[in-house]
């Protein structure tokens, strides 16, 4: 019974890693669509989101099945409940990528990102993609080094988020209210994407080592 339980919990981890990978790739494609006004890629991100939703539901069902049939307690119970929280975070990462793609689609054929801030937004996108890859590795391999890098990337993302906010509220901002709202939302989407990934990594490392990432 114990061996079967461990296998089931391991399968949950593999499933969550797959969700993180899907969300990371969605953000990569959404960022491309955003910076290049690529409607085709934006539509692909929107169309593929259903797969993430379906796979999240599958992993959640597996976790609830473990709770119902294995009745875990103490540390084992925490492991399953932690997995459920990780599913929710991974799903939210995918939703944030979806929001980025929607802005790209809404502003097409124009680029949603003015030239003055395109480098900052591109940097946020690159960090988000790296974070998506790293959190997948953390979930699969309990990689504490990658978890530490995630925390550093999250700090860099926060710095960019604060910087962009100061740019769009400057009285000399020349692109109007709609563009300011878009940039504020996009910055927030990237920043929250990183936050959810860091939360996942922190739970995985804590569950594995008892130490916070």
CATH code of the domain containing 176:
1.20.58.220
HSE-CB of 180 using CA atoms within 13 angstroms: 13
Structure-token pair, residue 180: 């300011």
Gyration radius (Cα) of the chain, Å: 19
pLDDT in tens, 189-198: 999 999 999 9
Nearest to 131 by CA among 119, 148, 106: 148
**What does the alpha-carbon distance between residue 35 and residue 201 come to, in Å, rounded to a whole number?**
28
User: What is the 8-class DSSP label of residue 69?
Assistant: H
pLDDT in tens, 5-39: 778 878 899 999 999 999 999 999 999 999 999 99
| Structural domain of 191 | 2-209
Question: Per the structure, how many domains does the chain have?
Answer: 1
Q: Note the pTM of the prediction, 2 decimals.
A: 0.92
Structure-token pair, residue 82: 């932690």
In sequence order, which ranges of 37-114 are alpha helices (DSSP H)?
Answer: 39-70, 74-107
């Amino acid at each position: 019974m114990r061996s079967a339980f461990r296998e089931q919990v391991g399968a949950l981890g593999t499933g969550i890693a797959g969700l993180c990978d899907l969300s990371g790739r969605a953000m990569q494609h959404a960022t491309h669509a955003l910076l290049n006004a690529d409607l085709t890629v934006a539509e692909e991100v929107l169309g593929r989101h259903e797969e993430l939703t379906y796979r999240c539901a599958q992993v959640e069902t597996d976790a609830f099945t473990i709770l119902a049939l294995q009745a875990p307690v103490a540390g084992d119970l925490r492991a399953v409940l932690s997995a459920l929280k990780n599913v929710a975070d991974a799903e939210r990462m995918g939703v944030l990528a979806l929001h980025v793609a929607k802005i790209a689609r809404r502003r097409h054929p124009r680029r949603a990102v003015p030239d003055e801030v395109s480098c900052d937004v591109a940097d946020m996108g690159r960090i988000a993609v790296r974070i998506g890859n790293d959190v997948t590795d953390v979930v699969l391999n309990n990689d504490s080094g990658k978890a530490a890098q995630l925390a550093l990337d999250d700090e860099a993302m926060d710095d960019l988020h604060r910087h962009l906010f100061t740019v769009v509220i400057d009285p000399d901002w020349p692109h109007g209210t709609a563009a300011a709202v878009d940039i504020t939302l996009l910055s927030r989407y990237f920043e929250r994407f990183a936050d959810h990934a860091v939360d996942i990594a922190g739970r995985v490392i804590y569950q594995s080592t008892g130490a916070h990432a």
